[in-house]
Structure 1
Amino acid sequence: MPADLSSVIAATAQWLLRAYPPERGALSGALAEAQCRQAATVAAWLRYPTALDAGLLDVVGPGGSGRLDWVTGVDAVPGEDAGWRTWVDEVVASWAACLLADRGLAVAAIATVTGSVHAAGLAPDFRRLADPDRRDRQAAVLLRHPDLLSPVADLHRADLLARLGGGTAQAA
């Protein structure tokens, strides 16, 4: 049975949404959130490929959003319950940023996790991540912009490339 990574996935997706806000409107917000969740899911499954890895995360914790906040200049909202920020995983956020900015990396990452322990018994659909349509791209223009994402993506890009077999991908 795969370990539960839902807290890390949800917190990391939330952080990405706050750091790179979607276009205004409920539909845009939902489409951007779906893309963030898919990217964070694939990144978390790559980062913690086994149930043991995910279980160790529960023991040591993911590290929080402190460095990411500093790199991007994102501030916590005064008076906000920021407890969720402790569940943000810097590496997962960095890898998710790489996947959002580079379709080739996203496709390779999805292919890697499709047969993983986390996907066992599931039929995951990462279409919004790997093949966003016009409306998806419009809703998440900041989330998909390689230059804007680079401060976060560059933090751990080399580790992602190593995890995916050292290959390089071209932005689509």
Structure 2
Amino acid sequence: MHEDLSPLIAATTHWLTSAYPASGGALAAALCEVQARQAVTVAAWLRYPTPMDAALVTMAGPGGAARLDWVTGADGAGADDPDTCAWRTWVDEVVASWAACLLTDAELADRAVDALADPSAVPVEFRRLLAPDDSDRRAAALLRHPDLLSPVADLHHAELLTRLAPGPAMAA
């Protein structure tokens, strides 16, 4: 199921790391990307928890980056170049928003990882998301800055809280 979401995860990660780039060189860029990818992966798995959900988003498409670009003030950037725009159609606004929430709130990130349908089914470690060290934090200073990410995080924060609430909402 999760491999069906790989284009969405890759595009949304790329959007986040483009909008909130690493502070430093190549190592910092790699550390920033890993943190973004882990947050996006958790968010995508929460948003599309079943094989049917993943198949539907793959068939219909996630919606693209237009609103995210507008919210962050980057609207129209690269809109004329079809080669740079193709990946942008695979960006999922809700997943990006949820990932921004997870990157800026450690307690929420812990709850989200715990809420994954069956975290033992996939041997994935989310250490850089859940317990970033000093080099992780320096590399992703922009990506983890609550004030900078708030326009994106606020878009769908309430839906994430609903998703993580105990009870029947978890099965939805």
Q: TM-score, normalised by structure 2?
A: 0.90
Cα offset for 1:99?
A: 0.2
Give me the whole-angstrom Cα distance separating, in 2, the residues matched to 1:145 and 1:2.
28
Give me the whole-angstrom Cα distance separating, in 2, the residues matched to 1:114 and 1:23.
34
Q: Is the 8 A contact 1:3 1:54 kept in 2?
A: no
1:106 equivalenced with 2:109 (yes/no): yes
Unaligned runs of 5+ in 1: 167-172
Count of aligned positions: 163
- In the TM superposition, what whole-angstrom CA distance separates every residue of 1:18-50 from its partner, at most 9, and x where no partner exists? 110111200000000000100000000000010
Partner of 1:43: 43
Unaligned runs of 5+ in 2: 167-172
Cα offset for 1:114?
A: 6.1
Partner of 1:88: 91
Matched AA of 1:95: W
SS, match of residue 4 in structure 1: helix
Partner of 1:5: 5
Give me the whole-angstrom Cα distance separating, in 2, the residues matched to 1:93 and 1:2.
17
What is the correspondence of 1:1-172 to structure 2 with a 5 Å cutoff? Answer: 1-2=1-2, 4-74=4-74, 75-77=76-78, 79=81, 80-113=83-116, 115=118, 120=121, 122-165=122-165
Instruction: Considering fraction of residues, name the structure with more helix.
Output: 2
Q: Is the 8 A contact 1:3 1:51 kept in 2?
A: no
Q: TM-score, normalised by structure 1?
A: 0.90
Give me the whole-angstrom Cα distance separating, in 2, the residues matched to 1:20 and 1:2.
25
Flag as ranges the 4+ runs of structure 1 deviating above 4 A: none
Give me the whole-angstrom Cα distance separating, in 2, the residues matched to 1:129 and 1:16.
14
Partner of 2:169: none
